[in-house]
Amino acid sequence: MSEFDLIREYFLWDASPDTTVRISVGDDAAVLRIPLDKELIISVDTLNEGIHFPVKTPPHAIGYKALAVNLSDLAAMGAQPAWFTLALSMPVADTVWVGEFTRGMRELAQQHGIFLIGGDTTRGALSITLQVMGLAAPGKALLRSGAQHGDLICVSGTLGDAAAGLAVVQNRLALAAEAAEYCVQRLNYPTARLGLGNVLQGRATACMDISDGLLADLGHLLKASGVGARLHHALLPVSPALTSVALDQRLDFALRGGDDYELLFTLPKTLLAVVRQEASKQKIGVTVIGEIDAQQVDLQLDYAFSDKRCGYEHFS
């Protein structure tokens, strides 16, 4: 199959009913009509085999996850997904693989109304780069930098499932069959919290998605906001699938594991009830895990890991 045929077969998706796309896949570049009353939000992420997903990950999951992690960045900004481009590098043009890969990606794209408008296809080690573009009302995008003294620190969903899933795939952790399947599913098919991001617009003082682990990512948020925080380990939302895991390891997954793609955000206390109510309409749990304390210089956690990889109190 020639490169041209491959593109036509797998990357030329249904014409967008969205009138913002004037020229899509097939020309030298895409042409978009950007709504004048919006700000354009852009993010790019690469997934490399063996680093961002295990070598034996099914292609359907790779396609899904590549888009999901990028959508998660738009969710974290409170943006509405609009368009994306796809740069795909692969060792051979395996049409079964590409078919499954694009099927996974397309399912999620259709679900969120985001349109593939172009890309590049090259030969090389398996690597997938997506650039997503979204729209938000001017000045309304959620940033990492607005957390205020006294704000509650909240997370969506549960933490540590994906890290446990990775440990299962790598034979470092044994779980009951159902729990193992749940965690691997969370690793391979993360959920971008776009609806919640929308709810948080105009409410959260700071927001980001958790991709590198709660401690690392909260550290970025605190730094951007110029504040400190207290975190309570007993409040961390952990799914029933992890109840059989020893506390130290469970907290390691929840605090230091990556790939959760839940939202981490700060809220004035008075807004918690309304955010919880709106989130529950989408069947998303919101858990308070700590509070912003501008008197702290960094992040204080009330738990000491036995391996001392992170100190008892301070992370910077």
In the block, which residue shows the tokens 């992040």? 299
18 is in an annotated binding site: no
Three-state DSSP string of 128-184: EEEEEEEEECCCCCCCCCCCCCCCEEEEECCCCHHHHHHHHHCCCCCCCHHHHHHHH
The answer to whether the beta carbons of residues 75 and 192 sit under 8 Å apart is yes
Q: How is residue 306 written in tokens? A: 């036995």
Residue closer to ligand ADP, measured from CB, 41 or 116: 116
Please state, in angstroms and rounded to a whole number, the distance separating the CA atoms of residues 313 and 53: 32
DSSP state of 237: -
Residue 27 interacting with Mg ion (CB under 5 A): no
Segment contacting Mg ion by CB under 5 A, of 114-122, 204-212, 227-235, 246-254: 114-122
Segment contacting ligand ADP by CB under 6 A, of 53-61, 113-121, 123-131, 267-275: 113-121
* Residue 80 Cβ vs ligand ADP, minimum distance, rounded to whole Å: 21
Residue 86 interacting with ligand ADP (CB under 6 A): yes
Residue 21 interacting with ligand ADP (CB under 6 A): no
Segment contacting Mg ion by CB under 5 A, of 6-14, 69-77, 82-90, 120-128: 120-128
Task: Report the residue from 63, 81, 104, 118 that binds ligand ADP according to the rule CB under 6 A.
Answer: 118
CB atoms within 10 A of CB 57: 18
Residue 239 interacting with ligand ADP (CB under 6 A): no
Residue 116 interacting with ligand ADP (CB under 6 A): yes
Please state, in angstroms and rounded to a whole number, the distance separating the CA atoms of residues 191 and 185: 10
Binding site for ligand ADP (CB under 6 A): 7, 11, 25-28, 86, 88, 116, 118-121
